[in-house]
Structure 1
Amino acid sequence: MAPEDMMFSYRGISYPSTITSPETLEALKSFEARDDDVILVGYPKTGTNWLEQMVKELADARYTEEEMKERINAEKKLETFQRLELGDPGVYEILVLVRNPKDTAVSYYHFSNNLPLSPSFDSWDEFFADFMNGKLAWGSYFDHLAEWNKYIDNERIITISYEELKEDPILGMKKIASFFGFSLCEEDFSRIAKKTSFKAMKEKCGETHGKFGDALFRKGVVGNWRDVFSEAQNEEMYRKFQDSLGGTKMAAKIKYDVYCKA
């Protein structure tokens, strides 16, 4: 496909035409969730695949091995998509995942260039300009953060950061389990932490995510942005972050001064 055919615009935001469509997004207007549905929200490359597996492990910890086999077989029969915007077209409990914008940008850059389904970029500078202007699939990360900041105090929404999960996975999982009412013992948390470590998931990515595994699981570290950001880009990102989120609770959650300090 020509690069210009790989994207379409819906309500002012770009999406990849290779995996979704305007019709699917329009159908989501009438989507009705069950009262026990859980929705994970994340901008591309903020760690959604990692957190998705972690939440799944937390939710499944209560089942016996035999019950899990039955659940896996049932899921295979359903053949459901795990992304609302990729599938066929109440009350939500929502888990919002955020990541510092510098590492998000770098990870998204490598992801775009390693995934045949999306347009690639000739240089980091070209990608950085589009990232800062929101000209990427799924739009502006800054707009995404600003929008979810409006709901950060909602009792049915919990916001957790990629960085806090990296620093203390077990503490992060305990927060998530408490929010959703999952009952686990200490041994469960330790087992799931090992099973969902980046190293463990990368080793099995071919089995769990097929040919896209290598693109989804690259480094999984905090601070990789230091290898690519120029001084001018550091300053531009800081100004953009302050203009978009300065003084907000979302900014405090992301800890820009800690994780993005040049």
Structure 2
Amino acid sequence: MSTAEGQQAKTDTFMADMKKRLEEASKLTPEELKFSYKGILYPTILCSEETFQAMEKMEAREDDVLIVTYPKCGTNWSLQILHEMILEVNKKEPTMIKGMLEFGKPEKYEYLSQQPSPRVLATHIPCEDISKSFFEKKTKVLLILRNPKDTAVSYYHFTNKNPTLPTYESWDLFYKDYITGNVIYGSYFDYTIQWEKHIDDGNILVLTFEDMKEDLSRELRKISDFYGLALTDEQIKLVQEKTTFSSMKEKSSNTHGDLANVFFRKGEVGDWKNLFTEEQSKEVDAQFEKYLAGTKLGNMINYEKYCTF
């Protein structure tokens, strides 16, 4: 089986599984679509307490590629980037699981333990709940941040299009849950500030969605250097051509099937201005000031540039 055929087979299996889960989700009420674990809401159709408990015992590897993001901060984008980079260097598909590390059944971690390196993994779970093994092994972690206002708007559209998540009748109703952390995966601010204590560990690269939009080639070079991939300028250019938002959206029907329009909407910076009221904007400003102002991660978000009317 060729590389392309192998990747397509994985995609087909993922899409068949997602179709089954979507059918299950259609039979559940909004309240049944979510459950709480350690005080944070998760999607019932995709996650389970048993899987979380098994994940906590997962054995990491030094050469794992772990991508960590709050939802709608560039997860699919960064996954595709690492996929293309490793493929370009090794000339063979890296081990990649479709969806987040926390999705699926507990036995998936046994399957993962048998897969060859490098394993490209992604998760939305809070830093404190990631298997301690990743920190003990000093696995290199790629953290992608996005300003909280664009994140909120993107998340609102995402949750209303994704049948596995509770829907909202209006932006105002979603915003109310978002600002209080009552959404799937909890508070943006709690999630982000948890990583501040690891910022100087030496094995974490922090990039922002906005910087990637501004100069993708520059940010790709940072990723290549961080993971020791030593991509040439020509290889960086090839990866860039395959991972722009427009390029990925164009291919999304092949990579994400019927969910293409769920995962790829606008991919813009500043879209929050189309929905936020002045009062809501000021409320997020206050939350940013409380949690992230003056921190290293807060400074990287460049809040004043991206979050003022």
Aligning the two structures, in what range does the TM-score lie when normalised by the shorter sequence? over 0.9
Task: Report the alpha carbon displacement of residue 209 of structure 1 after superposing the two structures with TM.
Answer: 1.2
Give the whole-Å Cα distance in 2 for the aligned partners of 1:164 and 1:153: 20
Q: For residues 137-175 of structure 1, give each alpha carbon's deviation from its aligned partner in whole angstroms, at most 9, with x where no partner exists.
A: 111110011101111111011111000100000100101
How many angstroms apart in 2 are the aligned matches of 1:184 and 1:38?
Answer: 16
Residues 38 and 211 of structure 1, relative CA distance in 2, 3 Å threshold: same
Partner residue in 2 for 1:55: 82
Deviation at 1:83, TM superposition (A): 2.0
The answer to whether structure 1 residue 96 and structure 2 residue 123 are counterparts is no
Task: Classify the secondary structure of the residue corresponding to 2:256.
Answer: helix
The alignment status of 1:85 with 2:132, answered yes or no, reads no
- Show structure 2 runs of 5+ residues with no match: 1-27, 110-132
1:220 aligns with 2:267: yes
Output the CA distance in 2 between the equivalents of 1:247 and 1:231.
23
Give the 3 Å change call, closer, same or farther, for CA 55–113 of structure 1 in structure 2. Answer: same
Match of 2:46 among 1, 4, 19: 19
**Match status 1:192 vs 2:239:** yes
Tell me the amino acid that sits aligned with residue 39 of structure 2: G
Alignment match, 1:39: 66
Identity %: 42
Q: Secondary structure at the match of 1:94?
A: strand
Alignment partner, residue 164 of structure 2: 117
1:169-213 per-residue CA deviation (whole Å, 9 max, x = no partner) reads 010010111111001111111111111010110011110111111
Aligned length: 252
CA distance in 2, matches of 1:25, 1:205: 29
Distance 1:63 1:178 in 2: 16
**Residue of structure 2 aligned with 1:244, choices 276, 285, 291:** 291
Cα deviation for residue 117 of structure 1 reads: 0.9
The match for 1:183 is 230
TM-score (norm. length: structure 1):
0.93
User: Are the structure 2 counterparts of residues 124 and 33 from structure 1 closer, same or farther at C-alpha, using a change threshold of 3 Å?
Assistant: same
SS state of the match for residue 3, structure 1? coil
RMSD: 1.4
Could you tell me which amino acid in structure 2 is paired with residue 4 of structure 1? E
Taking the aligned partners of 2:97 and 2:269, their CA distance within structure 1 comes to: 32
Q: How far apart in 1 are the matches of 2:189 and 2:41? A: 15
Once the two structures are TM-superposed, the CA of residue 51 in structure 1 deviates from its matched residue by: 1.1
Q: CA deviation at 1:63?
A: 3.3
Q: Which residue in the other structure is 1:7 paired with? A: 34
Aligned to 2:182: 135
2: distance between equivalents of 1:145 and 1:233? Answer: 20
Structure 1 distance, partners of 2:97, 2:294, is: 40
The equivalent position to 1:211 in structure 2, one of 258, 283, 290, is: 258
SS in 1 for 2:255: helix
| Paired position in structure 1 for 2:10 | none
Give 1:80 shift.
4.3
Question: What is the TM-score of this pair, normalised by structure 2?
Answer: 0.79
| In 2, Cα distance between equivalents of 1:8 and 1:82 | 19
The separation in 1 between residues aligned to 2:223 and 2:34, in whole angstroms, is 34
* C-alpha distance in structure 2 between counterparts of 1:244 and 1:80, whole Å: 33
Specify the alignment match of 2:303 in structure 1: 256
Equivalent residue for 2:220? 173
